[in-house]
Copies of this chain bind each other. A is one copy, B any other.
Amino acid sequence: MSTNPAENPAFASHDHSDCVERVLATAETLCKDRKVRLTPIRRQALEILISEHKALGAYDILAELSARGQAAHPPVAYRALDFLVTHGLAHKIERLAAYVACAHPGERHRPAFLICRICQLVAEAHVPNNEGALGSAAKALGFQIEETVIEAEGICPECQKAAA
């Protein structure tokens, strides 16, 4: 898996079924290692998320789960998403109140996201754990960071071309 942002595939066309298989396999392994259960609902939720690079709302996931025959009450989706987020298999995009599959499952990382406001695609950039500016501001204040939310909204290369 590439760690070079320039090779991030989200904004470029690529073989997606590959992508899906790869992440699902990693998820299986990761859950086995941690002795947690990737139950059918959780697996399907992840599958639905990876099938898009878009961020999906909890209720989008819910609708898709329901279409696949699962019970369709909100807690079903939220519980699956909580599990995925807790185990680093998915991330929440706060700006959109929506979720994306993690592009680097298993790797320790502070995720950062580039959100296209035209096509809704979301790319996960690989940002070093030491947040330059944010990290030093926290250090200077004596603030102890536990989690970070780093999101940029703007226009992806494809949509810039389309607009030009």
Chain A interface residues toward B at CB < 8 A: 4-6, 8, 11, 94-95, 112, 114, 116-117, 123, 125-128, 131-134, 136-138, 140-157, 160
Q: Contact partner of A147 among B144, B153, B160, CB < 8 A?
A: B153
The verdict on A152 contacting B143 (CB below 8 Å), with A112-B133, A134-B112 known, is yes
Residue with the highest number of chain B CB atoms closer than 10 Å, among A143, A151, A154: A143
Residues of B within 8 A of A125 (CB): 133-134, 137-138, 141
B149 engages A95 (CB within 8 Å):
yes
Q: Contact partner of A117 among B112, B114, B133, B146, CB < 8 A?
A: B146
Q: Contact partner of A5 among B112, B127, B137, CB < 8 A?
A: B137
Nearest B residue to A123 via CB reads B141
Residues of B within 8 A of A143 (CB): 11, 114, 116, 123, 152, 154-157
Nearest B residue to A135 via CB reads B152
> Closest CB-CB distance, A92 to chain B, in whole Å?
9
A11 engages B141 (CB within 8 Å):
yes
Nearest B residue to A127 via CB reads B133
User: Which 4 pairs across A and B sit closest by C-beta, in order of nearness?
Assistant: A132-B132, A125-B137, A142-B157, A94-B94
B157 engages A141 (CB within 8 Å):
yes
> Closest CB-CB distance, A53 to chain B, in whole Å?
13
